[in-house]
Structures are given as C-alpha cells and as structure tokens.
Structure 1
C-alpha cells in the first residue's frame, strides 16, 4: 500500500501546527527551568521552531519518499524511528544556537537540548500518530498502519 502524497500546503500546515503547539508548551517551561527571561527563551524557541519547520518539511518529504520506495508499513516501530531521526538532525543545529543566544556553555546548551529532546521525542511521535489518524478520518487519505 502506498501513502497518498502530501501537497506543499499540507506539509506546511502540518509543520506549522506542530511547531506552534510545541512553542506554547516549551517557551514558558524552559524560561522557568533555565531562569532566563521569557522573551529570551521565547525568541530561541521560535528560532529553533523555524529551523525545525524547514527541517520537518525536508525530513518528512524524504522519509515519505523512502517509505514509499521501500514499501514500508507505517507501524509503531517506524514512527519511533521517524521521531528519533528527526530529533537527531535538529540537535546538530540547536546546541550551538542555544549556547550562543543564551550566552551559556556548550555543555549547558547540550543539557537544555536533552531536556527539549525528552519533550519532543514523545511529542513528535504522538503528534504524528494523531495526525495520521485525523488525516485518514477527515480527508479519507489511506494510511499504512497495522493497528
């Protein structure tokens, strides 16, 4: 079974909703935990979100292409691998950006990023799982799932 292709508009909306919801959760929480101003942490989370938005579109397009080419089924395990791959790529950009913007060391930025990853891994998984189900229900798009 093949996945229905997603338009650029749908990919943008998917990524935008994903990031907007995440910013609303992470910016105030990270500001409080890091004892940084909400404004400073908000700017950082928005910058990372814009980077992630672009990464999300690129990563998901490549992932979907690979999924279709290989004939993979969209199983629970595949969604776990999808989330890990996405977050791993984003880490490479987020750590130096956070260190520079917050004027903290790379180690502190790494710890901050680990905290964000601990949020984003389950969030990414659950958001995309919910999106797959809503997309199938609302738009009648077939999904590859063994559930």
Structure 2
C-alpha cells in the first residue's frame, strides 16, 4: 500500500480516498498533517540543523549549570556541534566505503553497534582536548564531561528522532517499509 493510500481505522481501504497525510512512528498521522519536505536532502538538512541548534542550547545550559561561564560553555557547545557535523560526514563516508569493500549488506545489529562505538569514540578523541583547552581544565575532567555529554546525547538523539518523525512524518524510505 503506498504512503498516500493508507487504510484508516473503520474505513474500507478500497473505498477510502487517498491520504496525503504523512505517517509518524507506529503508523499514526504526523502532527504536521501535510508533506513538508519535498526532497530527502531538505529533510536531512532541517533535521541536522535543528538537532545541532538544540544541542548547542542543551550543552551550553549543562556546562553552565556545572559552573562554567556562559561564554566558555557556548564556545564548547559550538565547537562540539561543528566537530560532530564534520566528523559525521567523514566517518560515514569511510564507514560506508568499508561496508562496500567488505560486502556487508542490510546493516545487522553488530554493524550498527560498531558504527555507534566508532563514531562516538572518534568524537571523544577530538573533543576531549578541545574541551580541556576551552574550559582550562585537565584532560581527565574534560573526559568526564564528554562522557556525561555522550550519555545525554544518546538519549537526546533517540527522543529527538522520535519527536521529529512524530511531527513531520517518517522519511519516505521508512514510511514505505511500514506500509
């Protein structure tokens, strides 16, 4: 069943008019009841920009609450988001090339775990020295801050993805898989 011809509860699918309402997680209608993103690229750009803007706000707030000044906290947040975006591009390019060369298809769970560990490990390698330098602290303290932020962002990323999909609907690839 295509995304625009979904069955509605209590309605015979054969007689129901097509729906152009995007679907969210669990097959529910998205909160924005129309298609907002005309291309997958636009959806990814909006997703990443909003994610990182909120990440900057959260990181600044968390670091300020830990007793760091607003300026240094904001600097760490902006540097962290910039590094994360750039590392994401580089890491995913290398990772996907490696997948192709090794003939890995379908992204089984162990590949997803390797991807997450490699990505987050790289972020820690890049960000611990940057955090230490910006905040004027030792590498050990910077590592603890980064470890705490890593845990926060694992939860934040999952909640953000669910909320984004609930508001705007699933991407076409996931929506087709649920149809």
**C-alpha distance in structure 2 between counterparts of 1:79 and 1:116, whole Å:** 20
Work out whether residues 74 and 144 of structure 1, in 8 Å CA contact, stay in contact via their aligned partners in 2. no
Partner of residue 3, structure 1: none
Higher helix share: 1
SS at match of 2:71: helix
Unpaired stretches in structure 2, ≥5 consecutive residues: 1-39
TM-score (norm 1): 0.70
Q: Which has the larger radius of gyration?
A: 2
Equivalent-residue separation in structure 1 for 2:159 and 2:117 (angstroms): 13
Query: Structure 1, residues 33-89: CA drift from partner, whole Å, max 9, x if none?
Result: 1x111121011111111111111223334445538x5212476x6555433322111
Aligned pairs for 1:44-59 (under 5 A) are 44-59=76-91
Match of 2:119 in 1: 86
Distance 2:163 2:95 in 1: 16
> TM-score, with normalisation over the residues of structure 2?
0.59
1:118 deviation in Å?
1.4
Match of 2:152 in 1: 119
Distance across 2 between alignment mates of 1:109 and 1:47: 14
| Greater length-normalized contact order (CA 8 Å, ≥ 6 residues apart) | 2
Q: Of the candidates 101, 105, 127, which is equivalent to residue 71 of structure 1?
A: 105
